[in-house]
Amino acid sequence: MVSLKLKWHKLTHWEYWPLWVIYYPLFPVWLYYSLKAGSFFFFNAANPSMKNGGMAMESKMSIYGLIPRQYIPNTVFLSKDEAPDVALGRIRASGITYPFIVKPDIGMKSFGVEKIHDELQFREYVRKTPSHYLAQELIPYGNEVGVFYVRKPGEALGKVTGIVSKEFLSVVGDGKSTVLELIKKNPRSHLQLHRLEKKLGERLYTVLEEGDEYILVPYGSHTRGAKFVDISHQLNDALTKTINEICTPMEDFHYGRLDVLYHTFDDLCQGKNFSVIEINGAGGEATHIYDPKHSLWFAWKEITRHWGMMCEVSMLNHQKGHSYLSFRDGRAMLRENGVLQAQLETL
């Protein structure tokens, strides 16, 4: 009965549907923009400074190199072939201490992102990771937002086209229920139970005091259970100014989503107490569409709107001499990305 209820919940809430179900009906729209641009893989020219325009298989460390250093966490690139002792030595030498974050250098959907608390946990991560990875200082801010940004080539300033607040997956104690029981009371967390069982172990049987919040997954990833809330209506001139101060110095970055940890929204607008933890280029979704209050029709409208902006940016950059991907290279990129995703999903 519980399994049927969860299946019904997924069926009646489109945010849980497979991406192909959401995106395949829009194939004629993509085909239209492809014909307009003259290439099926026109997105390569959206952000010439990013591999594949930031659609897939781009290095996060390379993108960090584009962002002004004052806005990003202390980060170390580590080879998958590097001995754990050597890797830990370089991490410590950089000033990063426990706990810290590790994540694949080429990744997606927060697969393979972990908080490392000790050496044993780090060694286990190194043992199982299939790819090069990053070690990153833990940012102390408890709020995360995704800000979508577009700046046409030749324009001095860009614009924010959507903002999503990310509510981390959590449970709130009632003084009598275990964490496991609380997880099962909410379909959003119950759908993550398999992953949570492996992660939490005996902590699942802890009884929380009434009103105590326990963060189950401290990452703002929809695939890891975070709730996305559309706060685009909170956009103001101060926030636009802050985002432009981050993005305009970035060479040939025109289209994508910034994921930002921050202390308070007012602080973020004023350009203080925040850190850019990631920037996604052409492959970044305008994730405010996943707010449960939005219909699939709203999502399709926003996806189409953003594809149109990406097509326009790509065409303008193409006129300046930046190339599109060939069909052969584009197919190879998609195959390579599919293989990597299958590997990361097992972590």
Q: What is the pLDDT of residues 25-35, one digit of tens each?
A: 999 999 999 99
93, pLDDT greater than 90: yes
125, pLDDT greater than 90: yes
- Average pLDDT (57-85) is 96
The pair of three-digit structure tokens given for residue 152, joined into one six-digit string: 């046409």
Nearest partner of 49 among 345, 343, 313, 326, judged by Cα: 313
Domain boundaries, the chain: 1-60+141-168+218-310+332-347, 74-138, 169-217
- CA gap 260, 267 in Å, rounded: 12
Q: Please answer whether residues 135 and 75 qualify as being in contact, where contact means their C-beta atoms are separated by less than 8 angstroms.
A: yes
Share of the chain above pLDDT 70, in %: 99
110, pLDDT greater than 90: no
Q: Could you give phi then psi for residue 106, rounded to 5 degrees?
A: -115, 110
pTM: 0.94
Give the pLDDT confidence score for residue 149 in this predicted structure: 98
Secondary structure of residue 191 in the 3-state scheme: coil
Give the pLDDT confidence score for residue 237 in this predicted structure: 98
74, pLDDT greater than 70: yes
The pair of three-digit structure tokens given for residue 67, joined into one six-digit string: 């962002």
- CA gap 256, 283 in Å, rounded: 8
What is the helix (H) or strand (E) element at residue 75, kind and residue range?
A: strand 75-78
Torsion of CA 62, 232, 288, 66, to 10 degrees: 0
The pair of three-digit structure tokens given for residue 179, joined into one six-digit string: 């964490």
CATH architecture for the domain at 1-60+141-168+218-310+332-347: 2-Layer Sandwich (3.30)
Average of per-residue pLDDT values in the chain: 95
341, pLDDT greater than 90: no
- Average pLDDT (109-121) is 91
- CA gap 232, 245 in Å, rounded: 19
- CA gap 208, 251 in Å, rounded: 48
- CA gap 227, 229 in Å, rounded: 6
71, pLDDT greater than 70: yes
Give the pLDDT confidence score for residue 220 in this predicted structure: 84
Q: Please answer whether residues 282 and 224 qualify as being in contact, where contact means their C-beta atoms are separated by less than 8 angstroms.
A: no
Q: How many CB atoms lie within 10 A of CB 329?
A: 14
Give the pLDDT confidence score for residue 1 in this predicted structure: 67
50, pLDDT greater than 90: yes
CATH architecture for the domain at 74-138: 2-Layer Sandwich (3.30)
Share of the chain above pLDDT 90, in %: 90
Give the pLDDT confidence score for residue 302 in this predicted structure: 98
Higher-pLDDT residue of 48 and 346 is 48
- CA gap 317, 152 in Å, rounded: 9
111, pLDDT greater than 70: yes
Q: Please answer whether residues 151 and 133 qualify as being in contact, where contact means their C-beta atoms are separated by less than 8 angstroms.
A: no
Instruction: For 269-327, write each residue's pLDDT tens digit.
Output: 999 999 999 999 999 999 999 999 999 999 999 999 999 999 999 999 999 999 999 99
Instruction: For 200-253, write each residue's pLDDT tens digit.
Output: 999 999 999 999 999 999 888 888 899 999 999 999 999 999 999 999 999 999
The runs of H, that is alpha helices, within the chain are 2-12, 19-23, 27-37, 60-64, 84-93, 119-128, 179-184, 187-190, 193-200, 237-247, 265-269, 296-319, 327-344
Give the pLDDT confidence score for residue 346 in this predicted structure: 76
